Amino acid sequence: MSKVYLTGAGPGDIELMTVKALRLVQNADVIIYDRLANPEILKEVKENTELIFVGKEKGNHRVPQDEINEIIYQCALKYENVVRLKGGDPFVFGRGGEEALYLKQRNIKFEIIPGVTSAISVPAYAGIPVTNRGITPSFRVVTGHRKSSDNIANINWSSFIEDETIVFLMGLHNIELIVTKLLEVGKRKDYPCAIISNGTTKNQKVISGTLENIVSKSKEAQSPAIIIVGEVVNLRDELRWFD
């Protein structure tokens, strides 16, 4: 019987893949992979493994999600070991749940292989802990990208508590709207924030600022990027280590 492994590739650095994810990649008959999965991973595949790229980026969804679901299904009918390789973790804004449901409805066996999410690991590589005793009791991970900007605007912004760290994934192109909404619900203009591009890789770049100036500074940032908002950003000066 074939099985589909919905596999998290981690945040970028290939050494942050799990041992299990690497083993599955090395034994896969076919790998269906995203843009955010480090291409160095593909050097680990065995001979004759089929590679299918289904990456997405803003304004260019090379393969719509419905087609991706069907590609995974058809590969499961053809191959024994199918790896669906996704950047970060498959269940953190990775549509892994949608793909698993699609397979479940068609009686295809699947397994979830969690990955190190960029929501925690990328700030850590920038010297920013998402929580720190005495500064913040909680953190929240929010998508910065939905089907339309209207959906971003309709997030319950007023629910964000004062001392909570907020991590926005895939939000660089919506940063002006994100900042506007945070200011509207009472965040201070001097509230610390940072943009981290290409986190955990040799191309990592960190732009620190405040809600007042981060939009103008964001012109220097590149995708993929995360935005982190909170007092913990101020710890970067003391804890930076990867730069």
Q: Which of 25-39, 56-70, 201-215 has the lowest mean pLDDT?
A: 56-70
pLDDT of residue 153: 75
Q: Provide CB contacts within 8 A for 227, sequence distance 6+.
A: 144, 167, 168, 171, 172, 175, 178, 193, 194, 195, 214
Q: Which residues are catalytic?
A: 34, 56, 170
Q: Mapping DSSP to helix (H, G, I), strand (E, B) and coil, where does residue 202 land?
A: coil
Q: Are 117 and 11 in contact (CB under 8 A)?
A: yes
- Give dist(CA 7, CA 91) in Å, integer: 10
- For residue 147, how far is the Cα from the chain centroid? 16
Fold of domain 118-239: 3.30.950
Beta strands in 108-204 (DSSP E): 109-113, 139-143, 165-169, 192-197
Tell me the CATH architecture of domain 3-113.
3-Layer(aba) Sandwich (3.40)
pTM (predicted TM-score)? 0.91
pLDDT of residue 146: 60
Q: What is the pLDDT of residue 152?
A: 76
- Per-residue pLDDT for 58 more than 90? no
Residues belonging to the chain: 243
Least confident of 47-61, 172-186, 201-215: 47-61
At residue 149, does pLDDT exceed 60?
A: no
pLDDT at 80 over 70: yes
Q: Is there a contact between 195 and 207 (Cβ–Cβ < 8 Å)?
A: yes
pLDDT at 162: 82
Each residue of 95-113: pLDDT tens digit?
999 999 999 999 999 999 9
Domain ranges of the chain: 3-113, 118-239
Look at residues 196, 194, 193 and name the one whose alpha carbon lies nearest to residue 122.
196
**Residue 220 in this model has a pLDDT that exceeds 70:** yes
For the beta carbon of residue 107, count every other beta carbon within 10 angstroms. 7
Percent of the chain with pLDDT over 90: 84
61 or 86, greater pLDDT: 86
